[in-house]
Amino acid sequence: MSYEKARKDYTKHVLLEHDCPSSPAILLDQWLHEAHSDSIDSNAMTLSTVGQNGQPSSRIVLLRELTEKGIVFYTNYNSQKGREMAENELVSINFFWPWIERQVRIGGKASKISAFSSDEYFNSRPRESQIGAIASTQSQTLKLRETLENRVTELTSKFEGQDIPRPENWGGYIIEPNYFEFWQGRASRLHDRVRYDQSIEDGQWLISRLYP
């Protein structure tokens, strides 16, 4: 494939300041709705964390809740990302929806949500996912896939006919954003970029336009 020649012009939408709500969470919610697709995880976001040695690391997780306070996702607290967020609460999130020519970039601070809220979400998951969360010591080395599969079989019979309790090392994080950047692809690479920065004084969001 010739990557040099791959070239696409973006003409589907525009992003103008006067269409931007005062709250970036409202605009993100609107864009998530517009990105919705039955065949693609439009709530998939790239989460970047930074390890102790300063090395950033990115992976996809699924947004499970969006409020004015922040963005919630669920994972294993002892995974690589969990360990990195324990060392450094500053994270970055990126959404990319090529079918509507949009990107959203968010910076914020990660913290664990309450055990009560994690329990509520865990209890709403399919049993197979609950067992998977217990069976997987996420991000640890697994010599044989069979070891994991055997553990799933063991746990499935252990919990037969019973509620499955949430393991303490699995739960939610909330990312409380301090900036958002909404990127709308435009023709001839003259894209729209609107940034929201939260004022330290009164918490209001300040909107500015960036050069593409």
Ligand X SMILES: Cc1cc2nc3c(=O)[nH]c(=O)nc-3n(C[C@H](O)[C@H](O)[C@H](O)COP(=O)(O)O)c2cc1C
Q: How far is the CB of 51 from ligand X (least distance, A)?
A: 10
Active site residue 189: yes
Taking residue 92's Cβ as centre, other Cβ atoms within 10 Å add up to: 18
Instruction: Specify the stretch interacting with ligand X by CB under 6 A; choose among 55-63, 95-103, 148-156, 186-194.
Output: 55-63
Within residues 66-125, the interface with ligand X by CB under 6 A covers 73-75, 79-81
Within residues 124-143, the interface with ligand X by CB under 6 A covers 138-139
Nearer to ligand X, 44 or 148 (CB): 44
Q: Which residues contact 76 (CB under 8 A, 6 or more apart)?
A: 82, 133, 136, 137, 138, 139, 169, 170
60 binds ligand X per the rule CB under 6 A: yes
Nearer to ligand X, 11 or 58 (CB): 58
Q: Are 84 and 92 in contact (CB under 8 A)?
A: no
Rg of the chain, C-alpha, whole Å: 20
Q: How far is the CB of 45 from ligand X (least distance, A)?
A: 9
173 binds ligand X per the rule CB under 6 A: no
Q: Are 95 and 40 in contact (CB under 8 A)?
A: no
Per annotation, catalytic residue among 83, 105, 186, 189: 189
Q: Quickly tell me which residue has 């994690």 as its tokens.
A: 118
What is the rounded CA–CA span in Å between residue 60 and residue 44?
6
| Binding site residues, ligand X, CB under 6 A | 41, 44, 57, 59-62, 73-75, 79-81, 138-139
Which of the residues are catalytic?
189
